[in-house]
Amino acid sequence: MPVQKLKQFLDEHGVKYVVISHSRAFTAQEVAASAHIPGREFAKTVIVERDGEMAMAVLPASFQVDLDLIREATGARTVRLVSEAEFRDRFPGCEVGAMPPFGNLYGMDVFVAQRLTEDETIAFNAGSHTEVIRMGYADFARLVNPVVIPMVLETA
């Protein structure tokens, strides 16, 4: 889902948002810095497999995913990180590793870190390594209906 398709989806749902263009960056911390967004406020999307099904874990760029916390919070038997090679075809039109946290558009559950719910806005990759979307967290929650869990440990 390139940025145009995501923007169309947001427009159809009456969501106000801002697109921020930035220099090419690949890690969530680099993207946050390039877009002048604090790492705690930039949401990175990590693909996990929970009991054999892919899902999105959405957490602040400055945090590290804790697979045991996800397993415990969701009641899963197993949770593991999924490699880019395993998920690259699940997000047509998106650059690998830059998928937006809209798992509902890709047939995936979304688990969001409690910390991200504490801000009025959420910012995330818009399908490319050069564009970020910032929008209200309430609109994100309304459209995605994520499960909120305490799944992260701060690393920076």
CATH of the domain at 21: 3.90.960.10
Taking residues 53-79, report their average pLDDT.
92
Q: Above 70 in pLDDT, residue 11? A: yes
In a domain? residue 138: no
Span 122-149, pLDDT tens digits: 999 999 999 999 999 999 999 999 999 8
Predicted local distance difference test score (pLDDT) of residue 143: 97
pTM flag (> 0.95): no
Give strand pairing partners of 149: 113
Percent helix, percent strand, percent coil in the chain, to nearest 5: 30, 30, 35
In the block, tokens 């992260």 appear at 152
In a domain? residue 155: no
| Residue 136: closest CA among 43, 30, 8 | 43
> How many domains is the chain built from?
1
| Residues spanned by the domain of 49 | 3-132+144-150
In a domain? residue 69: yes
In a domain? residue 127: yes
